[in-house]
């Protein structure tokens, strides 16, 4: 099949035979079929780059399983489109798969990275930061940096015609497109105003004036008239202050969202601070930075001492990032605490501000269970975090969804290894845009499942798992040192040492 496709690509459509008995993908693309199927190229272009003027989507380089799933949804009516419903229903399952593979294999020029794109305006705001006050995560959270796409389920947004993006958001709002995994986009689209939709489509999309064959992706966002959303910008999204202080705030935010780039000497996995502190550290009940800033210095039972915020952050690097602590006073820590202070502007100094940390769930009716947790994980978590907990990188190679266990995840010393803490985090925040949707029982079960997998060794490892458990993980909250499926957790953890670099699953 690979060889055939390659041959087709080399030979081009002109030499492919036209037979109804064997309507090859290439034929369907360039000539259509006598059964009333128009040539795909007539709308999507010969190179599969779509048509910006008419809002027909780019297909080139999209994940094959995604294209195939769309053709199935169009055939089944879960996506409504008069033309495409009629076409899709005439295709066999085999033809849908071959067409998907055909378009997936077409080359598509990668879009420019984020820094070259406009960073302000209503569209950039939603695209890069979301609007968590309405449970709307940043588009890039799931669709990857610059919207390049993640895995098979989160298609690229960059390079799609803005008119196409807009029409799909409207389709989710109106229910004429539905049935995707977890229904995330229907929920998210329901929170967007008409001007939001326009702005975010303009941010990612190729404008109508562009050539239908242009790869696009560099289009600056158009203001789109009204500002997005509900008036007051979320805390922290006020205009960045000027001067050196503003630079420190910005660096802090960049580190927070992309430590692998901006604090690379100190991280040992592909996680970002914002994986556990959603909305770039602003979301209540997601251990927000503003609540931490006004709560430190504070006593911590973990270290048996009063710690400053910078010392607390050192622990994040050592455990959650499975890296090493930046020295106190290092620009990484100073920038992060400067960013925290800026998010905290206007808050009261109070160690117990509502929204601090993660909520504490009441104990569930049934004892938390690994097997039930595995089912919840498969249904609700694997879409993003992968069936093996390995996380996903985006199509540009940048970390997208964090690994939840394995060598690329947080180590056994991290707070998220506590089942109580993980359950509270999951209940309040997972899945993205659907926080609060799991039952307490589901949250406890899936937290138990996640925290019952092997991960990197606790940096405080004494040389004995039993002793390390007794010292640091004694109690029902920790699976470290507990036997699960014949394996004692912690016993083949990767020991602390030279830190691996670069994103991507390695479990």
Q: Is 308 among the residues that bind a copy of itself (CB under 8 A)? A: yes
Say whether residue 237 binds a copy of itself (CB under 8 A). no
Q: Does 354 bind a copy of itself (CB under 8 A)?
A: no
Q: Identify which of residues 56 and 296 has a Cβ nearer to a copy of itself in the complex.
A: 296
Helix (H, G, I), strand (E, B) or coil at 61: coil
Q: Which residues, in sequence order, are CB contacts of 480 under 8 Å at separation 6+?
A: 412, 417, 458, 465, 468, 469, 472, 473, 489, 490
Residue with tokens 């008419």: 54
Shortest spacing between CB 248 and a copy of itself, in angstroms = 4
Question: Which range of residues in 253-261, 336-344, 442-450, 458-466 is near a copy of itself by CB under 8 A?
Answer: 336-344
By CB under 8 A, how many residues form the interface with a copy of itself?
Answer: 33
Pairing of strands 305-307, 298-300: antiparallel
Choose between 10 and 301: whose C-beta lies nearer to a copy of itself: 301
User: Which of 213/347 has CB closer to a copy of itself?
Assistant: 347
| Backbone torsions φ then ψ of 88, nearest 5 degrees | -65, -35
Q: Which is closer to a copy of itself, CB of 95 or CB of 335?
A: 335
Q: Which is nearer to a copy of itself, 232 or 244 (by Cβ)? A: 244
Q: Does 345 bind a copy of itself (CB under 8 A)?
A: yes
Per CB under 8 A, 346 contacts a copy of itself:
yes
Of the residues 52, 169, 344, 426, which one makes contact with a copy of itself according to CB under 8 A: 344
Backbone angles phi, psi at 176, to 5 degrees: -85, -5
CA–CA dist 374, 452 (Å, integer): 10
Distance from the Cα of residue 216 to its chain's centroid: 23
Using CB under 8 A as the binding rule, whether residue 305 contacts a copy of itself is answered as yes
- Binding residue for a copy of itself (CB under 8 A) from 307, 369, 434, 440? 307
Residue 16 or 343 having the CB closest to a copy of itself:
343
Task: Candidates 347, 369, 434, 440: give the one binding a copy of itself (CB under 8 A).
Answer: 347
| CA dist., res. 293 & res. 341, Å (int) | 6
Q: Which is nearer to a copy of itself, 293 or 478 (CB)?
A: 293
In this structure, what are the phi and psi dihedrals at residue 51, rounded to the nearest 5 degrees? -140, 110
Among 1, 239, 349, 365, binds a copy of itself (CB under 8 A): 349
Tokens of 246: 């503003």
Residue 302 as a binder of a copy of itself (CB under 8 A): the answer is: no
Task: Choose among 289, 157, 159, 273: nearest CA to 212.
Answer: 159
Residue 353 interacting with a copy of itself (CB under 8 A): no
Nearer to a copy of itself, 39 or 334 (CB): 334
- The nearer residue to a copy of itself, 90 or 305, going by C-beta atoms, is 305
Instruction: Pick the closer one to a copy of itself by CB: 327 or 476.
Output: 327
Task: Choose, by CB under 8 A, the member of 154, 266, 293, 480 that binds a copy of itself.
Answer: 293
How wide is the angle at C-alpha 386 spanned by C-alphas 381 and 389, nearest 5°? 85
User: Is-contact 125 237, C-beta < 8 A?
Assistant: yes
Considering only residues 240 to 269 of the shown chain, the ones binding a copy of itself according to CB under 8 A are 243-245, 248
**Cβ neighbours for 440, distance < 8 A, ≥ 6 positions apart:** 361, 362, 364, 423, 427
Binding of a copy of itself by 348 (CB under 8 A): yes
291 sits near a copy of itself (criterion: CB under 8 A): no
- Count of CB atoms situated within 10 Å of the CB of 372: 17
Token readout for 213 is 């064959």
Q: How far from 211 is each of 40, 50, 53, 108, 264, CA to CA, in Å? A: 18, 10, 8, 15, 39
Based on CB atoms, which residue is closest to a copy of itself, 291 or 393?
Answer: 291
Q: Please tell me whether residue 94 binds a copy of itself under the rule CB under 8 A.
A: no
Q: Of residues 33, 70, 160, 338, which one binds a copy of itself by CB under 8 A?
A: 338
Least spacing, CB of residue 316 vs a copy of itself, in Å = 16
Contact 200, 127 (CB under 8 A): yes
The C-alpha atoms of residue 26 and residue 41 are separated, in whole angstroms, by: 10
Asked if 350 interacts with a copy of itself (CB under 8 A), we say yes
Task: Decide: is 337 part of the binding site for a copy of itself (CB under 8 A).
Answer: yes
Can you tell me the distance from the alpha carbon of 219 to that of 456, in angstroms, rounded to the nearest whole number? 42
Element spanning 129, H or E:
none
Terminal-residue alpha carbon distance, the chain: 30
Which has the closest alpha carbon to 308: 281, 280, 340? 340
Applying CB under 8 A, does 238 fall inside the site for a copy of itself?
Answer: no
Closest CA to 86 of 97, 102, 71: 71
Q: Does 335 bind a copy of itself (CB under 8 A)?
A: yes
CA distance 112 to 92: 37
Question: Between residues 7 and 245, which has the closer beta carbon with respect to a copy of itself?
Answer: 245
- Should residue 54 be labelled a site residue for a copy of itself when binding is judged by CB under 8 A? no
Q: Which helix (H) or strand (E) holds 487?
A: strand 487-488
To a copy of itself, the closest distance from the beta carbon of 249 in angstroms equals: 9
* 411 scored as a contact of a copy of itself (CB under 8 A): no
**Which of 11, 328, 367, 387: binder of a copy of itself (CB under 8 A)?**
328
The span of 36-44, 124-132, 134-142, 326-334 binding a copy of itself (CB under 8 A) equals 326-334
Whether 288 and 355 have beta carbons less than 8 Å apart is answered as yes
Cα gap 329→420, rounded to integer Å: 32
Judged by the rule CB under 8 A, the positions of this chain that interact with a copy of itself are: 243-245, 248, 290, 293-294, 296-299, 304-308, 310-311, 327-329, 334-335, 337-338, 341, 344-350
């Amino acid at each position: 099949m690979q060889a055939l496709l390659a041959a087709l690509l080399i030979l081009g459509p002109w030499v492919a035979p036209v037979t109804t008995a064997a309507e090859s993908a290439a034929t369907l693309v360039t000539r259509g079929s006598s059964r009333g199927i128009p040539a795909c190229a007539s709308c999507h272009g010969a190179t599969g780059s779509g048509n910006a003027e008419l809002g027909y989507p780019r297909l080139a380089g999209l994940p094959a399983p995604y294209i195939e799933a769309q053709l199935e949804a169009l055939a089944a009516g879960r996506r409504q489109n008069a033309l495409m419903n009629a076409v899709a229903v005439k295709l066999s399952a085999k033809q849908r798969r071959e067409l998907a593979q055909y378009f997936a294999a077409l080359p598509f020029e990668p879009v420019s990275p984020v820094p070259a794109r406009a960073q302000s305006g209503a569209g950039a705001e939603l695209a890069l930061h979301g609007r968590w006050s309405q449970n709307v995560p940043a588009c890039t959270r799931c669709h990857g940096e610059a919207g390049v796409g993640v895995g098979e389920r989160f298609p690229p947004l960059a390079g799609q015609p803005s008119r196409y993006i807009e029409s799909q958001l409207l389709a989710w709002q109106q229910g004429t497109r539905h049935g995707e995994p977890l229904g995330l986009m229907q929920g998210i689209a329901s929170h967007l105003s008409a001007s939001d939709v326009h702005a975010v489509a303009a941010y990612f999309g190729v404008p109508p004036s562009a050539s239908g064959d242009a790869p696009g992706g560099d289009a600056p966002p158009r203001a789109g008239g009204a500002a997005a959303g509900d008036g007051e910008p979320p805390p922290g999204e006020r205009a960045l202050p000027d001067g050196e202080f503003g630079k420190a705030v910005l660096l802090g935010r960049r580190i927070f969202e992309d430590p692998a780039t901006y604090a690379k000497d100190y991280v040992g996995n592909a996680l970002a601070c914002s994986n556990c502190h959603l909305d770039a550290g602003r979301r209540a009940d997601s251990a927000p930075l503003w609540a931490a800033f006004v709560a430190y210095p504070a006593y911590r039972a973990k270290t048996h001492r009063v710690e400053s915020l910078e010392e607390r952050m050192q622990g994040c690097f050592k455990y959650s990032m499975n890296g090493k602590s930046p020295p106190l006073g290092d620009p990484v820590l100073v920038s992060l605490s400067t960013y925290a202070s800026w998010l905290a502007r206007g808050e009261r100094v109070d160690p117990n501000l509502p929204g601090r940390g993660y909520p504490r769930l009441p104990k569930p009716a049934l004892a938390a269970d690994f097997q039930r947790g595995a089912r919840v994980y498969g249904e609700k978590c694997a879409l993003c975090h992968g069936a093996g907990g390995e996380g996903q990188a985006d199509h540009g190679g940048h970390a997208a969804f964090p690994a939840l266990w394995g060598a690329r995840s947080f180590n056994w010393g991290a707070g998220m290894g506590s089942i109580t803490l993980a359950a509270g985090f999951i209940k309040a925040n997972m899945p993205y845009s659907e926080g609060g949707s799991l039952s307490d029982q589901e949250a406890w079960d899936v937290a138990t499942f996640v925290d019952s997998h092997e991960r990197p060794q606790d940096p405080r490892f004494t040389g004995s798992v039993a002793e390390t458990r007794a010292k640091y993980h004694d109690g029902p909250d920790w699976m470290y040192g507990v036997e699960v499926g014949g394996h004692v957790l912690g016993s083949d953890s990767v020991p602390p040492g030279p830190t691996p670099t670069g994103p991507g699953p390695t479990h």
